[in-house]
A and B are shown apart, each in its own frame.
Chain A
Amino acid sequence: MAKTVKISVNHVTRVEGHGNIRLRASDGKIEHVEWQVPEAPRFFEAMVRGRSFEDIQTIVSRICGICSVTHSMAAIKGIEDAMGIEVSEQTEKLRILCHYGEQVESHILHVGYLVAPDLLGQKSVIPLVKSHTHVVKTIIRLHRLGNIWMEIIGGRMTHPITLKPGGFTVIPSEEKLLELKKAMEDAIPDAKILIEVILSLADKFPAFERDTEYIALNHPDYYTFYHGDIASTDTDEKVPIREFERVANEYISPQSTAKWCKWHRDSYAVGALARFNQNAEKLLPMAADTAKQFGLKKGACNPYLNNIAQVVECVQVIEHGLQLIDELLTTGLKPEPVKVEPKAGEGVGCVEAPRGILFHRYAFDKKGLCTKANICIPTGQNHANIQKDFEAFAPQIIDRDQDEIRLLLEMLVRSYDPCISCSTHFLNVEFV
């Protein structure tokens, strides 16, 4: 039947930051479909100029409340690269451990608080408190695990304190690590409950597929969030993180205060599903088993399945986190005082944020004052892919009821776990 569809969503809800959806169609033909990012730009790269290297991670952590550990670590790695600072194995293990806490906190927040209401036909988690008390309490316990985890290693659940260039201000005691280990072990039955719940709702994820390029960190030996080179599902080439600009190819779109990115195609995707598609064979047994339960396989290209990949990763980081704690306790923790002498130089730091690969580039003068900064954020890398998904998916669903179309498009945005306030800080500086 001929009909006109007009959808205009200002500030998509249950996402971090501000994004809009615009769709206009008549007689079943899409005339216009657009993903817009109107977030207030905050200009972090400009603001850090002139600040000491000692303050950088504190400032850029504030780019995002949900991935503050990730931003701190990307900055710290960039500073260390610029100044030629080597860190100990203990420091790397503790950092990876701390970062895992953020993966759990962020993934559970996203799947449990922001996406689950869609699967259960509600507008927020609040009505679920009464209708699905057991599920909500499970989600809360898992969410708290992520927070305790970051607090024990990072000193605080949001905006970590202990992470700094060269190492840690203080390291956790053995008792604290044992406390964390117990909390992680106790969380495994909760993770199983969550898996059961999501499995029972798996048919609510729309069956939409669009082949795209997936980009993530890759390490030959393990499922990585911290080490490795940049890898794409479109090529066997592995790009060193120092050359990230030739992967991201940022450009400005009039639709967005965030820059957009493309490499081999018009768009690419980053995030849990990209990491899974890049590294699935390196998952630890429990996580691999979780993927199997969901039937999630390498090469999956339904963007909604990003949420499933997030659940798989929660299991992965708990499993690997337990191993890391055992290794740290076996070697024995020792305080490692950090004294960094500033040095002029330029460097890149890269880590996988919960929502995808993140790059920071800095240059410093000989006093350690920041002279240049460039930050390339996962959600920015996903914006063009969201737009391309819209263009492919909207015609498939245009015959449906207007409210349903709107919901499906909103869910599509949410599936990327966008962190829009993150994504609006980009920079056009030529580094030579």
Chain B
Amino acid sequence: MSKLKVAFFDFACCEGCQLQVYNMEEEILDLLELIEPVEWREAMSDQSDDYDVAIIEGSITRIDDEKRIKAIRKNAKTLIALGSCATTGGVNKLKNNFEMQDVREYVYGKDANMPHLDTYPTKAVNEVVKVDYMVHGCPINVKEFSYIVRCLAIGKEPKIPNYPVCVECKMKENVCRFEYGEICLGPITRAGCDAKCPSSGMWCFGCRGLIDNPNVNAAKDVMAEYGKTIDDLRSKMLLFGSKQEY
């Protein structure tokens, strides 16, 4: 079996999801039996346009980046969005709550209009090109990443959870964060993280994005039951770029 040629590319992000690939530690040695990284700027000096799978970390925030991601899409047979910045726009979408000129001036003052400081409202990768698979989360769950890549290497369709974080949280026997008077996005957020935040004493920030058909009515009931409003919920949802259509 020939190895799958894989290239990593990063756009606006913290590169923490690529870091999770390093964090596979010894397991990465096994994965290297199945894949051959041909471009990975953070790890290697080699570069190549010849790849089967492009793994994209980060959001698209500039016209030049849009051109670059389109060229990558043309080269790649399969394109994977890696982590929240790529799958939903992530924290980068907080910028979209402001006017771009205001954002530029706030950060760069009188130099805001220098051409190299250009920016436009943050887009997730699938708002620009077709995305074949998404590895959700901020950061990604490295077990899920490894599973998806292994599936692709052996020609199997990966299965990504489409149920809420509450399911995993209950299995961990955590006390519900609403009982602490907090607002938790667990009821509408896609599971697959092992309810990492609620299990460490925090509410769910919704970094894995919404499940396909969130039970909006149930979420509203929960909010009402604990004396919270939908606006409170929406404000929390802004943090990782969740859509605001419900």
* A residues neighboring B (CB under 8 Å): 11, 13-17, 38, 40-43, 45-51, 55, 58-59, 62-66, 68, 109, 113-114, 117, 123-126, 129, 137, 140-141, 143-144, 147, 155-159, 161-162, 164, 168-170, 252, 254, 257, 421-422, 425-429
Among B1-54, those with CB < 8 Å from A are 11-20, 22-23, 25-26, 29, 32, 37, 40-46
Q: Does B153 count as interface, using CB distance less than 8 angstroms? A: no
Among B29, B32, B90, contact of A62 (Cβ-Cβ < 8 Å):
B90
Q: Does B225 count as interface, using CB distance less than 8 angstroms? A: no
- Determine the main DSSP class of A at the interface with B: loop
Closest 10 CB pairs of A and B: A65-B16, A428-B109, A169-B201, A124-B44, A155-B200, A47-B94, A123-B45, A161-B200, A170-B201, A46-B106
In the complex where A11-B41, A62-B14 touch, is A45 in contact with B107 (Cβ < 8 A)? yes
Among B22, B91, B117, B138, contact of A113 (Cβ-Cβ < 8 Å):
B22
A427 to chain B: which residues have CB within 8 Å? 106-109
CA distance A125 to B21 in the complex (A): 13
24 residue pairs A–B, Cβ–Cβ below 8 Å: A14-B41, A16-B15, A40-B61, A42-B12, A43-B104, A47-B98, A49-B98, A49-B106, A51-B239, A59-B239, A64-B14, A65-B15, A65-B19, A124-B43, A143-B23, A147-B25, A158-B139, A159-B16, A161-B202, A162-B201, A162-B202, A169-B201, A257-B116, A426-B108
B116 to chain A: which residues have CB within 8 Å? 38, 254, 257
- Structural contact, A126 and B22, CB atoms closer than 8 A: no
Among A124, A169, A426, contact of B46 (Cβ-Cβ < 8 Å):
A124
B102 to chain A: which residues have CB within 8 Å? 46
User: In the complex, which residue of chain A has the Cβ closest to the Cβ of B197?
Assistant: A161
Using C-beta atoms within 8 Å of the partner chain, give the interface range for chain B.
35 or more
- Structural contact, B95 and A14, CB atoms closer than 8 A: no
- Structural contact, B205 and A65, CB atoms closer than 8 A: no
Q: Does B103 count as interface, using CB distance less than 8 angstroms? A: yes
Contact indicator per residue, chain B 90-132, by CB within 8 Å of chain A (1) or not (0): 1110110110001110111111001011010000000000000
User: In the complex, which residue of chain A has the Cβ closest to the Cβ of B44?
Assistant: A124
Q: Does B65 count as interface, using CB distance less than 8 angstroms? A: yes
- Structural contact, A158 and B95, CB atoms closer than 8 A: no
B97 to chain A: which residues have CB within 8 Å? 47, 50
Q: Does B73 count as interface, using CB distance less than 8 angstroms? A: no
**Chain A min CB distance to B41 (Å):** 5
**Chain A min CB distance to B58 (Å):** 8
Q: Does B228 count as interface, using CB distance less than 8 angstroms? A: no
Q: Does B196 count as interface, using CB distance less than 8 angstroms? A: yes
A43 to chain B: which residues have CB within 8 Å? 95, 103-104, 106-107, 119
**Chain A min CB distance to B6 (Å):** 12
A137 to chain B: which residues have CB within 8 Å? 26
B234 to chain A: which residues have CB within 8 Å? none
**Chain A min CB distance to B76 (Å):** 19
**Chain B min CB distance to A280 (Å):** 30
B106 to chain A: which residues have CB within 8 Å? 43, 45-46, 49, 427, 429
Given A124-B44, A137-B26, A162-B200, 7 additional A-B pairs, CB 8 A: A47-B91, A124-B40, A143-B22, A144-B25, A159-B138, A252-B109, A257-B116
Q: Does B150 count as interface, using CB distance less than 8 angstroms? A: no
B45 to chain A: which residues have CB within 8 Å? 13-14, 117, 123-124
**Chain A min CB distance to B192 (Å):** 15
CA distance A252 to B113 in the complex (A): 12
- Structural contact, A426 and B43, CB atoms closer than 8 A: no
- Structural contact, B239 and A126, CB atoms closer than 8 A: no
**Chain B min CB distance to A48 (Å):** 8
- Structural contact, B200 and A156, CB atoms closer than 8 A: yes
Among B159-189, those with CB < 8 Å from A are none
A147 to chain B: which residues have CB within 8 Å? 23, 25
- Structural contact, A58 and B205, CB atoms closer than 8 A: yes
- Structural contact, B14 and A65, CB atoms closer than 8 A: yes
- Structural contact, B200 and A170, CB atoms closer than 8 A: yes
- Structural contact, A113 and B43, CB atoms closer than 8 A: yes
User: In the complex, which residue of chain B has the Cβ closest to the Cβ of A58?
Assistant: B205
A40 to chain B: which residues have CB within 8 Å? 11-12, 58, 61-62, 65, 119
CA distance A252 to B105 in the complex (A): 13
CA distance A376 to B29 in the complex (A): 37
CA distance A137 to B95 in the complex (A): 41
- Structural contact, B22 and A109, CB atoms closer than 8 A: yes
CA distance A169 to B202 in the complex (A): 7
Q: Name the residue in B104, B106, B114 with the highest tally of chain A Cβ atoms < 10 Å from its Cβ.
A: B106
CA distance A109 to B11 in the complex (A): 21
CA distance A58 to B197 in the complex (A): 11
CA distance A59 to B85 in the complex (A): 12
B12 to chain A: which residues have CB within 8 Å? 40, 42
**Chain B min CB distance to A356 (Å):** 17
Q: Name the residue in A47, A124, A161 with the highest tally of chain B Cβ atoms < 10 Å from its Cβ.
A: A47
- Structural contact, A41 and B42, CB atoms closer than 8 A: no
User: In the complex, which residue of chain A has the Cβ closest to the Cβ of B26?
Assistant: A140
CA distance A390 to B61 in the complex (A): 31
**Chain A min CB distance to B171 (Å):** 18
CA distance A17 to B41 in the complex (A): 9
**Chain B min CB distance to A17 (Å):** 7
- Structural contact, A46 and B98, CB atoms closer than 8 A: yes
CA distance A51 to B97 in the complex (A): 11
B199 to chain A: which residues have CB within 8 Å? 155
- Structural contact, A129 and B16, CB atoms closer than 8 A: no
- Structural contact, A63 and B103, CB atoms closer than 8 A: no
CA distance A426 to B103 in the complex (A): 11
- Structural contact, B119 and A169, CB atoms closer than 8 A: no
User: In the complex, which residue of chain B has the Cβ closest to the Cβ of A61?
Assistant: B14
- Structural contact, A66 and B117, CB atoms closer than 8 A: no
Q: Name the residue in B16, B17, B107, B108 with the highest tally of chain A Cβ atoms < 10 Å from its Cβ.
A: B107
**Chain B min CB distance to A46 (Å):** 4
CA distance A175 to B16 in the complex (A): 29
